[in-house]
């Protein structure tokens, strides 16, 4: 019998739903995937925007986001991190260009000078229907009615609906809405996926029905994980996405 994780995160629940074996590799066996060009790009952009939004509203300009990026690049020793990647998709200049395009595309989505965030990289650690949950919310603010709007930055491509439905796209944010409700008794009115690469803001209104579905997914997934740990039986969900999975070389489905 395998020991179940102390807590689940919205992303780990999504991982189990995509492929139980991949969940086992990452959360049970604790096999850490090395960073990639894409994950470094996302982390760097997130880091810059977190510090950028700490500036006073009238100071949030394209020039200041560039200055913030320059500062964080040096402080975080990002050039060394990118150079250490096993697989590079371009030069340092191309990495910086991609990151800066994501940052400046923010102005096509919202006016940073008028966007007052309440929290960034906000940690939530609470129970949802008896399931211990932990996660970090990219950012949130309040609407005119005092309800929360949860936003998530995305630096990659907009998911192909053939592989990810709208319900799957928004599940993690719906889970955060449930966690806000549990931890702080705060209601969420809207979810936003900010696709910086494509200058797109995909929004979804939060309804009791959508929350109930997400709540059910959390409980059902926890029960499935407990059963898989008890039997040490984690299924392999073999799909075309396996070609991009770090664990493919030793996954039983590909031996």
On whether the CB atoms of residues 214 and 174 are closer than 8 A, the answer is: yes
Q: Tell me, rounded to whole angstroms, the distance of Cα 118 from its chain centroid.
A: 18
Over its length of 255 residues, how does the chain's per-residue pLDDT go in tens digits? 899 999 999 999 999 999 999 999 999 999 999 999 999 999 999 999 999 999 999 999 999 999 999 999 999 999 999 999 988 999 999 999 999 999 999 999 999 999 999 999 999 999 999 999 999 999 999 999 999 999 999 999 888 776 566 678 899 999 999 999 999 899 999 999 999 999 999 999 999 999 999 999 999 999 999 999 999 999 999 988 898 899 999 999 888
Two tokens at 114? 């008028």
pTM: 0.93
Alpha-carbon distance of 159 to 21, in angstroms, equals 22
- Residue 202, SS3 per DSSP: strand
Domain ranges of the chain: 10-31+116-230, 37-110
Per-residue CA distances from 95 to 90, 99, 100, 119, 197 (Å): 7, 6, 9, 28, 13
State how far the Cα of 13 lies from the Cα of 225, in Å rounded to an integer: 9
Beta-bridge partners for 154: 195
How far apart CA 218 and CA 133 sit, in angstroms, is 9
Minimal CA–CA distance to 197: which of 42, 88, 60, 82? 42
**49/106 Cα distance (integer angstroms):** 10
């Amino acid at each position: 019998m395998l020991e179940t994780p102390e807590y689940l995160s919205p992303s780990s629940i999504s991982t189990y739903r995509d492929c139980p074996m991949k969940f086992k590799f990452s959360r049970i066996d604790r096999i850490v995937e090395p960073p990639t060009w894409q994950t470094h790009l996302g982390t760097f952009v997130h880091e810059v925007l977190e510090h950028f939004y700490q500036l006073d509203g009238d100071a949030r300009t394209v020039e200041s986001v560039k200055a913030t990026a320059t500062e964080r690049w040096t402080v975080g020793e990002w050039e060394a991190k990118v150079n250490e990647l096993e697989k590079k998709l371009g030069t340092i200049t191309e990495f910086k260009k991609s990151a800066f395009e994501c940052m400046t595309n923010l102005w096509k989505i919202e006016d940073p000078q008028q966007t007052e965030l309440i929290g960034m990289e906000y940690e939530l650690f609470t129970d949802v229907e008896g399931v211990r949950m932990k996660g970090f919310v990219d950012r949130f603010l309040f609407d005119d009615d005092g309800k929360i709007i949860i936003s998530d930055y995305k630096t990659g491509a907009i998911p192909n609906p053939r592989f990810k439905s709208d319900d799957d796209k928004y599940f993690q944010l719906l889970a955060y809405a449930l966690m806000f409700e549990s931890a702080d008794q705060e209601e969420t009115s809207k979810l936003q996926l900010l696709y910086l690469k494509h200058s797109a803001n995909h929004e979804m209104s939060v309804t009791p029905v959508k929350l109930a579905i997400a709540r059910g997914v959390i409980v059902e997934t926890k029960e499935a994980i407990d059963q898989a740990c008890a039997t040490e039986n984690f299924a392999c969900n073999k799909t075309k996405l396996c070609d991009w999975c770090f664990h493919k070389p030793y996954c039983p489905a590909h031996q």
